[in-house]
Amino acid sequence: MPRFFQKKKLTPFQTIILGFAAVVLVGALILMLPISSSEGKFTPFHEALFTSTSSVCVTGLVVHDTGSYWSSFGQSVILLLIQVGGLGVVTVAASFALLSGRKISLLQRSTMQEAISAPKVGGIVRLTGFILKATFLFELCGALIMMPVFIKDHGPVGVFMAFFHSISAFCNAGFDIMGRSGDAFSSLTSYQGNVLINVVIMLLIIIGGLGFLTWEDVYTHKLHFKRYRMQSKVIFTMTGLLILVPAVFYFFHDLSGLSMKERVLSSLFQSVTPRTAGFNTYDLPALSGIGKTVMITLMLIGGSPGSTAGGMKTTTVAVLFSNMVSVFRRQEEPHMFGRRVENQVVRYAATILMLYAMLFSVGGLVISTIEDLPIGTCLFETASAVGTVGLSQGITPSLSAPSLVILMILMFLGRVGGLTMIFAAISGKHPTVSKLPSERITVG
């Protein structure tokens, strides 16, 4: 970590927030330069800042088509910001410290622990090394597999396109550069029926969204599911359900007009990408109202803790569902896979749910009022922002500066986490030890 952080004695939460903010600002200043745009002109600060925020927060919402507006240099800067944002600023900083041979202090290890949602400080340096190696391996494999297809369709530039989309998919960013071929804001719709591109992109999104600790469980215990941590078991179960159930819905409800191959691929893709990758192979405005509502729900849920994905997280939903079941059964505490869930975790889960619901709904209402747009369209956009997804109904490029600021705030909060922001704001305040008298209140 930089010595500035040590001297000021910042908490891990404050370090994470300031680190992300610093990278966003530097990225915006670089993207403003004429060398970053394809036409060689200065980009307004608020547009560059929005693009940088979306990149670092691995969201994918854009005010300009990434493939046609930005130069090769600008696209490379965006790709670097995506990689830093996906891994986490703290993880990247720690990797440079490790490569330089510097020792990692206890405070730095604590910050790294918070950044990747590790259960303990012990072994955090080894885990960080594992994360870096696994990340680059998956991204390289994805790029090499997709490269022949992109080279065939786009020539030598297909090499860069393969790496760009592989990193963007693994980091759950959703940025694409298909605009290079003149198909602006098209995402991956031109590859709707391509099995290889669909499968590779989906696998990268899923693997990136499982979480670093889940990878370690798989690496350590291989396919012995019973030996996994409870968290890993919950993540795999929830991920499977959140892919299968929406895919079946889209297959029978919204995508019946496609050929069987495209119908199967599109159903799976539209089920995977809202959590929280932002690519699409189907025209989203053409989805039914129910289809969009399902997608909004998936965007808010997001991926898993300690991953490249955003959203409330699969474990949050699992904990709340488990708590509901325990109430129905009149059990004192919820449990999953033979393990008890602590009350504090349930409280955190409920708080996260309320935070995301408030941010998503208030943001949508304000943007709808400012822009005089349908509330449903605006809620889709705010869900995409706070869930760091990047899927859009196509209104983001036409939004005014105040609305873009709202989306930037939502993206930033969605990436660093609402609880992280709150804990950073109230750091230094000691928890209350005394208790007030209790009084019964009826709910439900």
Task: Determine the Cα angle at 262 with ends 256 and 268, to 5°.
Answer: 85
Q: Does residue 230 lie within any of the structural domains?
A: yes
The secondary element (H helix, E strand) that includes residue 343 is helix 343-371
Produce one character per residue of 394-409: b if its CB has 16 or more CB atoms within 10 Å, e if not.
ebbeebeeebbebbbe
Give residue 173's domain range: 3-424
Q: How far apart are CA 258 and CA 193, in angstroms?
A: 10
Residues paired with residue 70 on neighbouring β-strands, in sequence order: 37
Structural tokens at position 158: 């297909």
Pairing of strands 335-336, 339-340: antiparallel
Burial of residue 309, with CB atoms counted within 10 A of its CB: 0-12 exposed, 13-18 middle, 19 or more buried = buried
| 95 contact partners, CB below 8 Å, separation of at least 6 | 87, 128, 129, 132
Domains contained in the chain, number? 1
| 180 contact partners, CB below 8 Å, separation of at least 6 | 67, 68, 154, 157, 161
Q: Does residue 358 lie within any of the structural domains?
A: yes
**Total-model pTM:** 0.89
Q: Does residue 317 lie within any of the structural domains?
A: yes
Q: Tokens 């396109």 map to which residue?
A: 161
**Please, are residues 283 and 272 in contact by the beta-carbon 8 Å criterion?**
no
Residues paired with residue 336 on neighbouring β-strands, in sequence order: 339
- CA-nearest of 35, 40, 43 to 77 is 35
**Please, are residues 265 and 195 in contact by the beta-carbon 8 Å criterion?**
yes
Q: Does residue 441 lie within any of the structural domains?
A: no
Task: Please report, to the nearest 10 degrees, the dihedral formed by the alpha carbons of residues 276, 112, 353, 387 taken in order.
Answer: -20
Q: Does residue 68 lie within any of the structural domains?
A: yes
pLDDT string in tens for the chain (444-residue length)? 445 444 556 666 677 788 888 999 999 999 999 999 999 999 999 999 999 999 998 898 999 999 999 999 999 999 999 998 888 766 676 666 666 666 666 666 666 666 666 666 666 677 778 888 889 999 999 999 999 999 999 999 999 999 999 999 999 998 999 987 667 788 898 899 999 999 999 999 999 989 888 988 898 888 888 899 999 999 999 999 999 999 999 999 988 888 899 999 999 999 999 987 889 888 888 889 999 999 999 999 998 887 888 889 999 999 999 999 999 998 888 999 989 999 888 988 998 999 999 999 999 999 999 999 999 999 999 999 999 998 999 899 999 999 999 999 999 888 877 666 565 555 555 556 677 788 878 777
